[in-house]
Amino acid sequence: MTVRRNPWFSLSMDAMRLGFEAQSVIGLRMAKAAWGGPAARDEAELMVAEKTQAAVDAQFILAKSVMTGEGHLGPARAMALLRRRVKANQRRLSRGR
């Protein structure tokens, strides 16, 4: 017997995990901003650029999913993209770079 997962539940759990992971990145960026200097300015500029690119990429994923007849997979794919980006930022900021 196979167990079917509720896609809405899975998506909401991914969104919750994204929120927790994003809070960690926000804290790391706030700490970097508190130190000030050129590194803080560079991080702020990078943050804006990354957020813009992530929004464009997520929209592209959603549109592509709909156009290929896989619209039901779009939200999970977009969420996965955002979680990958947040995790990459978390790793980078945790190393102190």
pLDDT computed for residue 2 by the predictor: 62
Reported as half-sphere exposure (CB side, CA atoms, 13 A), residue 17 has a value of 14
- In a domain, residue 45? The reply is yes
Domain-located, residue 77? yes
What are the tens digits of pLDDT across the range 22-66? 999 999 999 999 999 999 999 999 999 999 999 999 999 999 999
Domain membership of residue 32 (yes or no) is: yes
- Residue 13 within any structural domain of the chain: no
Query: How many domains would you assign to the chain?
Result: 1
7-35 vs 37-67: helix crossing angle, rounded to 10: 160
Show the domain range for 54: 24-94
Does the residue 5 lie in any domain?
Answer: no
Could you tell me which of 11, 20, 21 has the C-alpha nearest to residue 85?
Answer: 21
- Give domain status of residue 9, yes or no: no
Do the domain assignments include residue 64?
A: yes
In a domain, 86, yes or no: yes
pTM: 0.85
For 69-92, the pLDDT digits (tens) are 999 999 999 999 999 999 999 999
